[in-house]
Amino acid sequence: MPSSSRIILDKAAMQNNWDFFREYFGDIQISAVVKGNAYGHGIETYVPLAEDCGVNHFAVFNSEEAYRVHDVAGPGTTIMVMGSMNEQDIAWAVNNEVEFFVFDNARLDVAIEEAKQVGKKAIVHIEAETGMYRTGFDLEEIPALIEKLKDNKEYIRFRGLCMHFAGAEHISNYVRLKQQKILFRKFVRAFRMAGIEPEQIHTCCSAASVRFPDMRYDMLRIGIMQYGFWPSPELMVEYMNAQGIELNGDVKSPLKRVIRWESNVMSVKHVPQGGFIGYGYSFFAGQDMQVAIVPVGYAHGFSRSLSNSGRVLIKGHRLSVVGVVNMNCVVVDVTEIEDGVKAGDEVVFIGEQGEREISVASFGEMTSQLNYELLTRLPMNIPRLISDTSAT
Ligand SMILES: *Cc1c(COP(=O)(O)O)cnc(C)c1O
């Protein structure tokens, strides 16, 4: 299948990140959050690699993602659905021992019903509403919920009690998060007093895992950090400070970027002084120029907001996108490369080449997209490959 670009996952970087978590967080269980097509890395490629790194718990948003993880995961791997599912999905989940969040009575009733039908227990994580106002039971609903769980013991396995923080990556949310913590402890107490305990408690995404050691409980749900990114720059600074690492130009993140995104030059062209490049008048050639056409455009995840401002790497040079980003291609100014560029030369959008690197953050800053958004918008149909330097 001819493809205009490739995404390459660096297995050694993944291993580095998981080794770091084990050292930093200790023995605690970690669920690898692989929603959003594993943050753009590609579920089918990413999950088996993560298993090789010792990961055996994956969290997804919806059942479609759960099916995809289930198709590639080994035996003994746990799948947990945190969001959307319909009734058939719940039947499938119960049957396959896929765990799922229960955040309202409607879903709990379906879970009980399907468990009766299937003849197996539904394995559920009760989500507490602690002030994010997305999903979760209110504290006032807990007494009735406790009764229901007790009455349906043979259908419901109370696997987890959980919550999600409303923006743990920003210190500006501090007061809100603190209130969430206080409220969550009331949920924990309510269950404890009623003599019905979840097998595990989990509350932390990446940012909260770093910021709130007191909220780690039995499991962390780590998304963005496993791919080698901090949830926000301030969180990395906070980590460094807490570790007593002096911040200077040489400081290296303990996390390594897993993803690389590259393509090849499709064609090269001379532009005479006075010409306009691409659609309209947005780029004027003030001098004679050499440009390279690269067959990746906004249809392939290269944002249109990078028009006249994006950077790519070719032959170790950091070069500018000129003109507007087209649906299927961009034009790059290669005039400064003295020995020329030819069709087939490698182009890097995210990753290293020679001495240079384009990180997702610098890419994202130019588009003003978050790491999260930029990664998850990388189309599914770009092939995902693996680079395994540890094996050679
Ligand atoms: C996305 C998500 C996570 C992971 O968040 P990161 O910031 O990527 O670590 C954890 N828990 C829930 C409920 C989520 O939706």
Residue 391, pLDDT > 60, answer: no
Residue 119, pLDDT > 90, answer: yes
The one-letter amino acid at 214: D
Q: Which atom of ligand 1 is nearest to the CA of 35?
A: 1
Q: What is the mean pLDDT of the chain?
A: 94
Cβ(130)–Cβ(185) below 8 Å: no
Cβ(66)–Cβ(36) below 8 Å: no
Question: Residues with Cβ < 8 Å from 70, sequence gap 6 or more?
Answer: 79, 96, 98
Output the pLDDT for position 369: 60
Percent of the chain residues past pLDDT 70, beyond the cut: 96
More confident residue, 170 or 345: 345
Of the candidates 162, 177, 184, 251, the one whose C-alpha atom is nearest the C-alpha of residue 208 is 177
Determine if ligand 1 sits within 6 Å of the CB of residue 206: yes
Residue 122, pLDDT > 90, answer: yes
Q: Are strands 122-127 and 384-387 parallel, antiparallel or unpaired?
A: unpaired
At 1, the pLDDT band (50, 70, 90 cuts) reads very low
Cβ(348)–Cβ(261) below 8 Å: yes
Q: Which atom of ligand 1 is nearest to the CA of 164?
A: 13
The string of pLDDT tens digits covering residues 235-253 is 988 999 998 888 777 778 8
Cβ(39)–Cβ(224) below 8 Å: yes
The string of pLDDT tens digits covering residues 323-341 is 999 999 999 999 999 999 9
Residue with tokens 């807490």: 242
Give Cα 85 distance to the centre of its chain.
20
The string of pLDDT tens digits covering residues 82-107 is 999 999 999 999 999 999 999 999 99
Of the candidates 326, 305, 301, the one whose C-alpha atom is nearest the C-alpha of residue 376 is 301
Phi/psi at 216 (5° precision): -70, -35
CA of 311 relative to ligand 1 center, distance in Å = 30
Q: Using CA positions, which residue lies closest to atom 1 of ligand 1?
A: 223
Q: Are strands 311-314 and 259-264 parallel, antiparallel or unpaired?
A: unpaired
Structural domains for the chain: 11-242 (3.20.20.10), 259-358 (2.40.37.10)
Burial of 77 (0-12, 13-18, 19+ CB in 10 A): middle
Output the pLDDT for position 365: 60
Output the pLDDT for position 138: 98
DSSP letters along 298-333, please?
A: GGGT--GGGTTT-EEEETTEEEEEES---SS-EEEE
Residue 390, pLDDT > 70, answer: no
Determine if ligand 1 sits within 6 Å of the CB of residue 7: no
Burial of 249 (0-12, 13-18, 19+ CB in 10 A): exposed
Percent of the chain residues past pLDDT 90, beyond the cut: 84
Residue 126, pLDDT > 90, answer: yes
Instruction: Name the residue of 46, 161, 205, 230 to mutate for ligand 1: max ligand atoms within 8 A of Cβ.
Output: 205
The string of pLDDT tens digits covering residues 206-242 is 999 999 999 999 999 999 999 999 988 889 889 999 9
Question: E strand or H helix at 237, and its extent?
Answer: helix 233-242
Structure tokens that stand for 370 in this block:
């978050």
State pTM to two decimals.
0.94
